[in-house]
Amino acid sequence: MTRKKVSEPCCFKADYWYLYNLIRYCMPKPKTIFDSIRTVILTYMLLLVFGGFLSACRSNHAVQVAADYVSASDVRPASYAGNMPRFKALLYYSDQVEEAHRQFASQAIEFFHRLTYGEGWILDVSSRLEDSAALGQYNLIIMPNAAPETSEERALFEEYMENGGGWLGFHGAGYNDLSTGWDWFHDFMGGVRFLCNNWPPQPALVDIEGHDHAITRNLPDQYVAPATEFYQWQPDPRSNPDIRILVSLSPRNFPLGLKDIVFGGDFPVVWSNTRYRMVYINMGHGDECFSDATQNLLFVNALRYVASTAPQGNPFHDDDTK
């Protein structure tokens, strides 16, 4: 038999009303007036016990919130860039790549351009690296889909990075294998080369490796990255003491792939070579990588981190560059 639904009295708070109904439905249906009286008494006693527990929890939470509270008037005033852009960046891309990498580059140009609104910083976009003097004006170079291929551009990039330049690279921009023929870049990436990949592109659960870095401090412990192709590397980037791993694929993903299947092993997807101002992000295949707010926050954090470590000083005038 279905019990009659009882409307919520206005004198009950929501938590107590839910608790009352839980107790009411868990108890056996009274058969006599004495059973009814006993049920009412037991319900009242349980409400007192659990109600006191709920109140204590609320009180402790309120104390914690009060302890963490900081008035806006007690922190430093907001910093406005005004008419002076904080820094300049170059987005270097290639059209001579596969369609999925062109799609990501196109979306990256739009994504980073939106971050310049109000001219807080300047973003130039080019498919060429000019002379070293021209590169010297940029705080960092963003490479969404390719690294330089000509000897002239490679030499320019090496000189730029060895003299304190910054780099934010995605997916194909970090790809290198034995056929790449660029030993400096191989060392720059942490002494690693492409080993294998999953296929087709798919979402995957990623682990944030600690929250003591400026890039990861406000990220959740895990999130599901939108569909992309993930590269695995050899040797493991983690084996290099200069490499700081920030994000990796969760072991819970394996086996990963439907056509080309990766069965396990250490699988970093975001790291920094601490000998340079650089961050590599493995995401960057196709048109879904900017569809997740958490991942977009990761991208923004990485941009801000590289920009804030410039030899000329932190353009944001803060000290969050761990």
My answer on whether 207 and 129 are in the same domain is yes
In this prediction, residue 30 carries a pLDDT of: 66
Angle 140-141-147 from CA coordinates, rounded to 5°? 150
Alpha helix segments (H runs only) across the chain: 14-26, 33-68, 99-114, 132-135, 151-162, 183-188, 293-308
> How many Å apart are CA 281 and CA 240, to the nearest integer?
17
**283 and 174 inside one domain:** yes
* pLDDT for residue 3: 47
Residue 5: the pLDDT is 46
**Is 23 a member of any domain?**
yes
pTM of the model: 0.80
Domain match, 50 and 123 both: no
Question: How do strand 268-273 and strand 277-281 relate by DSSP bridges?
Answer: antiparallel
The pair phi, psi for residue 177, each rounded to 5°, is: -140, -170
3-state secondary structure of 94: coil
Q: Are 79 and 317 in contact (CB under 8 A)?
A: yes
- Residue 255: is the preceding peptide bond cis (ω within 30°)? yes
Q: For the residues of 49-85, what is the DSSP string, one character each? A: HHHHHHHHHHHHHHHHHHHH---GGGSPPP---TTS-
Q: Which DSSP category does 309 fall into?
A: T
Element (H, E) at 233: strand 231-234
Residue 289 lies in a domain: yes
Residues 110 and 23 reside in one and the same domain: no
Statement to judge: residues 216 and 272 lie in one domain: yes
Torsion-angle region of residue 240: left (phi > 0), alpha (psi -120 to 50) or beta? Answer: beta
Note whether residue 1 is domain-resident. no
Q: DSSP class of residue 254?
A: -
Domain co-membership, 28 together with 108: no
Q: What's the number of domains the chain is made of?
A: 2
DSSP state of 260: B
Instruction: Report helix angle 293-308 to 99-114, nearest 10.
Output: 70
Q: DSSP secondary structure string, 278-300?
A: EEEE---SSS-TTS-HHHHHHHH
| Helix count and strand count (H, E) for the chain | 7, 11
247 falls within a domain: yes
Residue 166 domain flag: yes
Residue 211 lies in a domain: yes
Do 156 and 274 lie in one domain? The reply is yes
By DSSP bridging, strand 202-208 and strand 243-249 are antiparallel
Domain check: are 297 and 247 in the same one? yes
Predicted local distance difference test score (pLDDT) of residue 2? 46
CA 12 to chain centre: 42
Q: Domain of 102: which CATH number? A: 3.40.50.880
Is there a single domain that holds both residue 143 and residue 252? Answer: yes
Domain coverage including residue 22: 14-66
Asked whether residue 147 is assigned to any structural domain, the reply reads yes
Between CA 289 and CA 21 the distance in angstroms is 45
Are 27 and 100 in a shared domain?
Answer: no
Mark the ranges of the chain whose per-residue pLDDT is less than 50: 1-12
Domain match, 32 and 123 both? no
Is 233 a member of any domain?
A: yes
At residue 69, the pLDDT reads 75
222 φ/ψ angles, rounded to the nearest 5 degrees:
-145, 155
Q: Are residues 42 and 96 in the same domain?
A: no
Write out pLDDT tens, residues 258-307. Answer: 999 999 999 999 999 999 999 999 999 999 999 999 999 999 999 999 99
Q: Do the beta carbons of residue 146 and residue 101 sit within 8 Å? A: yes
Distance CA 293, CA 109 (A): 17
